[in-house]
Amino acid sequence: MPAALVMGASRGIGRELVRQLLAASWQVHATARADAALSELQAAGAMPLKLDVTRPESLAGLGWQLDDVKLDLAIYVAGVYGPPHQGATAPPTQADFDAVMHANVLGAMQALPLVAPMVEQAGGRFVVISSEMGSIGGTESSHGWIYRASKAALNMAVKSASFDYPKATLLAMSPGWVRTDMGGEDASLSVEDSVAGMLKVILARRREESGSFWNHAGRQVAW
């Protein structure tokens, strides 16, 4: 039975990843911060792990919680958008900047060296949920510029780390505009379709494609 780790599984894309992987007979380790979410994950059939990616001491405990599990798939989903109105006509506050960068970039960069060796043991895939808003080549406005900067930084972290873990496939994935708490009700994709598409794309990627950026529909995204 293949093993997966979903970091940030309390709701939205993370919760749906857990559901679809369990339905496909994966063993799923799933993280959340709140005890209620952990209980729900356990009831669904996942192996719950308490984790707060904004706290380094919590991340440091992830290794012993997994106890040398070989991971065929690890997905870092945790992230925040920040304030709703962001643009280059007004400077970000330090608090907003720090909150977004900490969750979206620092958390992933601290998790990766802990988890990637477990992925290498299985020759598996380590994936971060990014966004096409982090594509420099595809940028057409400054809307969401703190979030955009965080996802561009996250993409660089994945691309550069891919050279250090040659036995794993490291990928950045854009889920599209999804109807979640972050995406809103007007988004064009259901969470079910987004996750199904991403899993299909992720599992089709080969080792030589490590360090690349894709969307849920299977299109490679410009950095």
Q: What is the pLDDT of residues 157-211, one digit of tens each?
A: 999 999 999 999 999 999 987 766 665 666 577 989 999 999 999 999 999 999 9
CATH number at residue 139: 3.40.50.720
Number of domains in the chain: 1
* 48 located within any domain: yes
The mean pLDDT value for 5-25 works out to 96
| pLDDT at residue 116 tops 90 | yes
Is position 118 within any domain?
Answer: yes
Residue 220 forms part of a structural domain:
no
3-class SS at 89?
coil
> Domain limits at 98?
3-215
Which strand (E) or helix (H) includes residue 156?
helix 145-161
Residue 222 lies in a domain: no
Instruction: Kindly state the percentage of the chain with pLDDT values over 70.
Output: 96
Give whole-number Cα distances, 221 to 26, 36, 42, 134, 193, in Å.
Answer: 28, 36, 35, 10, 19
Q: Is residue 221 part of a domain?
A: no
Which residues, in sequence order, are CB contacts of 164 under 8 Å at separation 6+?
Answer: 116
- Structural domain contains residue 180: yes
pLDDT, average across residues 15-33: 97
Residue 195 lies in a domain: yes
Model pLDDT, residue 54: 82
pLDDT reported for residue 180: 66
Q: With respect to residue 32, please indicate whether it lies within any of the assigned structural domains.
A: yes
- Render pLDDT for 81-96 as a digit per residue (tens, 0 to 9): 999 889 999 999 999 9
What pLDDT sits at residue 95? 97
C-alpha to C-alpha distance for 147 and 139, rounded to whole angstroms: 12
